[in-house]
Amino acid sequence: MKAVKTLGQFIIEKQAEFPYAKGELSRLLRDIGIAAKVVNREVNRAGLADLALDNGFINIQGENQKKLDVYANEQFILALQQGGECCVVVSEESDEYIDIDSEISKNAKYIVAIDPLDGSSNIDVNVSVGSIFSIYRRKTTDGRASIKDVLQRGSEQVAAGYVIYGSSTMLVYTTGKGVNGFTLDPSLGEFCLSHPKMRIPDDGVIYSINEGYYAHFPDGVKKYIKYCQVEDVATNRPFKARYIGSMVADLHRNMIKGGIFIYPANASDPKGKLRLIYECNPMAFIIEQAGGKASNGYERILDLEVTELHQRTGIFIGSKNMVNKAEEMMRRFSPIT
Ligand code: P6P
């Protein structure tokens, strides 16, 4: 009979791995876990409470805002405000960064970037959605945190994770020492360790891309899609096409089974669609920590310079041998001139 290990117990146990850690990051991760449980409760009853519906507003991304988007955003920000360890929040749902200027947070040294409810357009059709978070230590040391603290490269992250609200609710995170997954046990109301030391297979047979945009894709992506579709027993092709349209769900499946997810820069989204700070950098950190790879087709995601809050990027992410093959196609057929 395996002993249950809760997220809280695990965090404290691992805290000892961080020299001079005074527990701030541990408290921050627990604050995020609490917000995830609150959001999970509402995601599971969205249809009952009309939370899946549009609230009539358009967010900075130009997307219809769902009531649940706003609710999730409020819950994460509230948890971070009350926890006292976070000085700035960057959110997909907020145009500007949020300065947590409060007495309890006056010595806070962490920046948290969140996509509070990724894939929310899927809620009204009952498809898995997720929350994504990314944590940085502030760079500046005096006064209020500034934009310099926010626009840091992905390689500077101290932690990152996602919550997937699916057939079960899971929280998966890394602090740079591997990836661990926790499943919410509703009978306990706790996230319990269910997937220790997660690794993404080096190879996979799943490719995940919205082929509806095929005509807009660069030649390198078109060539890679055709590569996936060609019969070749020795390399287990043709691969399987799987596309949920919810990044967290697509990447979580690939994390477990192996595979590649591609959302490239393309003719209709020249800078890509997905956001660097609170989608691509945290997912890249997690996937790399699990042994996978993440690039924009040419450069490592975590090395990309961050210049804008809602900056977008193309992304090729997943099993490292599959990403390598796709990058090879990009170099050959869509070289950077
Ligand atoms: P498309 C959801 O809106 C999202 O931000 C990601 O979760 C998802 O991978 C992507 O957009 C889907 O975009 O253009 O294929 O509908």
Mean pLDDT for the chain overall: 92
Q: Flag whether pLDDT at 45 surpasses 70.
A: yes
> For 9-19, what is the mean pLDDT?
81
Question: Cβ(255)–Cβ(220) under 8 Å?
Answer: no
Least trusted range by pLDDT, from 9-18, 40-49, 214-223, 273-282: 40-49
- Helices 24-43 and 67-83 meet at what angle, rounded to 10? 160
Helices (H), 66-176: 67-83, 147-150
Residue nearest ligand 1's atom 4 by CA? 119
Helix (H) or strand (E) holding 288: helix 281-289
Confidence of residue 51 (pLDDT cuts 50, 70, 90): low
Question: Cβ(148)–Cβ(139) under 8 Å?
Answer: yes
> For 243-258, what is the mean pLDDT?
97
Burial of 267 from C-beta contacts in 10 A (0-12 / 13-18 / 19+): exposed
Residue 285's pLDDT is: 98
Q: Does 128 contact ligand 1 (Cβ within 6 A)?
A: no
Tens of pLDDT, residue by residue over 121-144, are: 888 888 999 999 999 999 888 888
**How far does the centroid of ligand 1 lie from the alpha carbon of residue 11, in Å?**
31
The residue behind tokens 């500046």 is: 140
**How far does the centroid of ligand 1 lie from the alpha carbon of residue 256, in Å?**
20
Domains present along the chain, CATH in parentheses: 7-198 (3.30.540.10), 206-334 (3.40.190.80)
pTM: 0.94
Confidence of residue 255 (pLDDT cuts 50, 70, 90): very high
- Helices 320-333 and 219-229 meet at what angle, rounded to 10? 130
Residues belonging to the binding site for Mg(2+) are: 92, 115, 117-118, 279
Residue 50's pLDDT is: 63
**How far does the centroid of ligand 1 lie from the alpha carbon of residue 131, in Å?**
13
Q: Which residues contact 273 (CB under 8 A, 6 or more apart)?
A: 263, 312
Tens of pLDDT, residue by residue over 297-323, are: 999 999 999 999 999 999 999 999 999
Residues belonging to the binding site are: 92, 115, 117-121, 210, 243, 273, 279
Residue nearest ligand 1's atom 1 by CA? 245
Beta strands in 138-276 (DSSP E): 159-165, 169-174, 179-185, 190-195, 206-208, 240-241, 260-263
**How far does the centroid of ligand 1 lie from the alpha carbon of residue 251, in Å?**
12
Q: Does 210 contact ligand 1 (Cβ within 6 A)?
A: yes
Residues belonging to the binding site for substrate are: 118-121, 210, 243, 273
Distance CA(273)–CA(263), nearest Å, equals 7
DSSP secondary structure, 193-214, as one string:
EEETT----S--SEEE--GGGG
